[in-house]
A and B are shown apart, each in its own frame.
Chain A
C-alpha cells in the first residue's frame, strides 16, 4: 500500500537558519503530494502541494519539489522564524484516494 516516510524530529534550529525536512513516499501511479502544518492545539493546515512530477509547491517561504525519480518531496525554507515552530506532515493522495500521512516532524525554532 501507499506509505510516507518523514525524518524523525524534533528538528531544532536557530532563527534565520535553513530548514530541510525530508519526505519520501511509496505509491502506485502518480499521487498528489502535500505538506500540512499543525500548530499547538489546532488541526492541520495545508501548507503547499504539488500534483505532478517536477511541480514545485510554495507558500509563506516554504518550498517543495515533486521528484518522481527519487520519490521525494522535501520541504525547505531559507530562513526560519520562531513562528514556524510547529509539526509538519508530509502526505499523499494516490489512486486509492485514501490520504496517507507521515508521522510528522516537530520543528522548534529558537530566537
Chain B
C-alpha cells in the first residue's frame, strides 16, 4: 500500500495570508490526525477527523481548521498566518475502524511564514 502523502512539501507565505495543506491517508484508513511540530513546542496535536467528522481537537486557535472528504483525504487550513505558525505540519492516518491505534505519518509540509 502507498503511504501517507502530503502536499505541498514546502511552502513559503507571508503574514496575514492563508494556507491550505493536503493529506492523503493510507488506502482504507478512515482516521486522519494533524500535528504541528516546532523546535520549541515539540509535537502538538491539532485535530483528528474520522469519517468526515472532527472527533478530537487540540488546543489551537480557531484560525486552524480542517476537514475530511468522503474518500478520507483531509485538508487543514490556517488563516491570517502569523510568524509563529512556521512549523512542520504532520498528518497521520490510522485504521481506526479496527481499533488499531498505530498512526502512520506522512513526510510533512514545512511552512515558513515571513
Contact = CB atoms under 8 A, between A and B. Distances in A.
Contact of A43 (B45, B48, B101, B105): B105
Interface stretch (A21-29, A65-73, A78-86, A94-102): A94-102
A98 B105 contact: no
A104 to B, nearest CB: 6
B107 A99 contact: no
Interface majority SS (helix, strand, loop, mixed), chain B: strand
Contacts of B45: 98-100
Interface string B88-108: 001010000000011111111
Contact of B102 (A49, A98, A101): A49
Interface in B52-77: 55-56, 58
Interface residues of B, number: 20
Nearest to A6: B42
A41 to B, nearest CB: 7
B42 A43 contact: no
Nearest to B57: A98
Interface in A88-111: 89, 93, 96-104
A103 B42 contact: yes
Interface residues on A, range: 20 to 34
Given A32-B101, A104-B42, A97 B56 contact: yes
A98 B108 contact: no
B4 interface: yes
Nearest to B58: A98
A38 B3 CA distance: 15
A36 B43 CA distance: 12
A99 B105 contact: no
Contact of A99 (B33, B104, B108): B33
12 contacts: A43-B92, A43-B107, A43-B108, A44-B90, A45-B105, A46-B102, A46-B103, A49-B101, A97-B55, A97-B56, A98-B58, A100-B45
Interface of B: 4, 33, 35, 42-43, 45, 48, 55-56, 58, 90, 92, 101-108
Interface of A: 32, 34, 36, 41-46, 49, 51, 89, 93, 96-104
